Amino acid sequence: QVQLVESGGGLVQPGGSLRLSCAASGTDEIIERVDWYRQAPGKQRALVGFITSGGSTNYPVSVSGRATVSRDSATNTVYLQLSNLKPEDTAVYYCRGLLRGNFYWGQGTQVTVSS
């Protein structure tokens, strides 16, 4: 059973940075594509960025320049680095992995940006 587990969330001051991790277990295969989403209270889940198995990345304009997705294939872990954090970045952050046509979601990690 493939599982994704996020970690690294917490309370950060505005202007700060954070690195979230998404670790895959239950498979020896590299997750083909990993998306990072976030969901703020009362809002729909929104894409923050993604990375393919080949290392290509893409980001929406809302976080462009402040978000970086990377991966460590040796550990099947994907990271989301967020910088210059703003209060509006406060949300639960989820990773979603695609493997053999199936999507797998992590349980989410809370990021709160506040002074």
Taking only the tens place, the pLDDT of each residue in 10-54 is 999 999 999 999 999 988 888 889 999 999 999 999 999 999 999
CA angle at residue 26 from 21 to 27, to 5 degrees?
Answer: 90
- Over 90: is that where the pLDDT of 64 sits? no
d(CA 45, CA 41): 10
CB–CB of 97/37 below 8 Å? no
Q: Which of 44, 91, 28, 97 is nearest to 69 (CA)?
A: 97
